[in-house]
Structure formats: C-alpha cells, structure tokens
Copies of this chain bind each other. A is one copy, B any other.
C-alpha cells in the first residue's frame, strides 16, 4: 500500500510537567489546540507527559499513575483529535494487567479513531532512569500507522539509540518517526558531558533520517524535576530532521515551545531516488542482527 503524497504539517509540543496529572493533561490539551491553530495536522506530546518522570526512583506507589487503554488520557485525546481534525500522538503509562505495565504510545487519527498502539520496545535502566522496574518490554513490534495526513511510526525515547527500530519503521513505510522523549542531564554531569550527550542524541537521530530517507521528530520534555543535585534537567531541544538529516527546526533547552514543520513526501521521494540506500540492502546477509553477539 503506498503512502500519502501531499505535504503535511507536524506539531511538536515541548512541555514541562508538574506533579499533578490533571494539570499536565489540561496543559497538553491547551498546547495541542495552540499547535492546531498554527496549522499542525499531526501533533505529538512528550513521553509520559501526564506526570513528572517518576522513573527517577523505584516506588510501588507510582504504579498508581498508570491507567488502562481506553482510559482518561486516550478518551481525552480521542475527543481532541476529532474536534480539531488532527492526528494526535499521545504517551500513556499503561496498566495492562495487574503487574503488567507498559510505556505506551497511541496514535489517533483525525476522526478520533485509534490508528495504532506502540509499546516501548527498548527499555533503559540507568541511575535515575529505572524503567526496567516499571515497564514490561513491548510486544507489538515496530509498525507504522496510517493517518489522514501521513503514515507515521512512534518510537519512544531509548528506542532512538537503535538503528534497527528506525529501519523497521521505515520498511513499514513510515514517513515520520516520532520520538516522544524524556531525556535530560544529571546536574553533576552536565558541565563535563552535557554537550556531548546532547550532540550524540541529535546525531544518531539525524542518522536515522539519513539512513532511511524520512522525517524524524524528537519531542522532549523540558524543565528540572527532583531535588537539587539529585534530580534531572530535561534538556528540551525537540527537533525535526529532514530526509537527508538536515535539522529543519529546533526548540530551546530552556522552556516550553511548539514547533510546527511542513513535511514534503516529494522531498523524501527525491532524496531516495538520489541516495537509493533501500535499493541495495543485503537482506540475504543480515540474519546476524538477531544475534546478541557474534562470538
């Protein structure tokens, strides 16, 4: 099945998140309306936008933040997508069953229908990012979802370091890879490592755009969460890269911001004709990618 060929506009909501889930949802809705008013047709919010980034600590109480699908967030986004006639990408701490929770992204089409569900596949576990404690790894693979305006894939945060995920979404003919994200600096590391961490983060995602000839949209949260010195400074800097890796728009590291960027499927077509990487893949020789290590 071929994809949409008309230009479309994507909207990235870079936002800070408070301790109050209802406040965060209300703010996200307001920001989404703002993005739609600016012409955005596919809008994405940051990872786990309804709460502060609770994975900073291991605490059974935080499982109370989880919600089913359908549930409050998905119902709100359904209504909003339908009302604004936009495709909408949300992020939900999903309670799937007692003891089975996922870090889940939902894609709503412009009529409010659920176009697709993605459960975060690559789960990190590092100091202040204790995600393996909270999230069962996803079991839905790396798909793409048709919306009224474009075919999109959603990958979440840590997924952005995996070329395999980007490639699989591209093979499924996604035109945009959305990465709802919650990445930031440890205050103690920022002076020494902050710039190189951010640079690696943007570079590898630009690399996915280049390797696959598609658009990449990284949607990060912003703001400081947690105690001084032992919290996380989310670095914002949400951005969109074009199909040859060029940065088309970039938000600041300092505050909330909305980016609206036009995407052109004809440019993708053009880039892929001139740099036809997909033509020459050696699919007969890639089986080792399913190995942990090739000893």
Contacts and interface: CB of A to CB of B under 8 A. Distances in A.
A50 to B, nearest CB: 25
Given A207-B206, A286-B289, A289-B167, A295 B1 contact: yes
22 contacts: A123-B280, A137-B282, A141-B288, A142-B288, A161-B211, A161-B275, A163-B164, A163-B207, A164-B282, A164-B289, A165-B282, A168-B285, A168-B289, A168-B294, A171-B293, A196-B244, A199-B245, A200-B245, A203-B203, A204-B207, A204-B245, A207-B210
A22 interface: no
A172 interface: yes
Given A164-B281, A283-B291, A286-B290, 4 more contacts: A137-B282, A141-B288, A196-B244, A200-B275
Interface in A197-245: 199-200, 203-204, 206-208, 210-211, 244-245
A158 B280 contact: yes
Query: Considering the complex of A and B, which 10 residue pairs feature the smallest CB-CB distances, nearest first?
Result: A207-B207, A163-B163, A171-B294, A172-B294, A204-B210, A204-B207, A122-B280, A200-B245, A161-B277, A200-B210
Interface in A101-140: 121-124, 126, 137
Count copies of this chain in the complex. Answer: 2
A246 interface: yes
Given A172-B294, A289-B286, A203 B196 contact: no
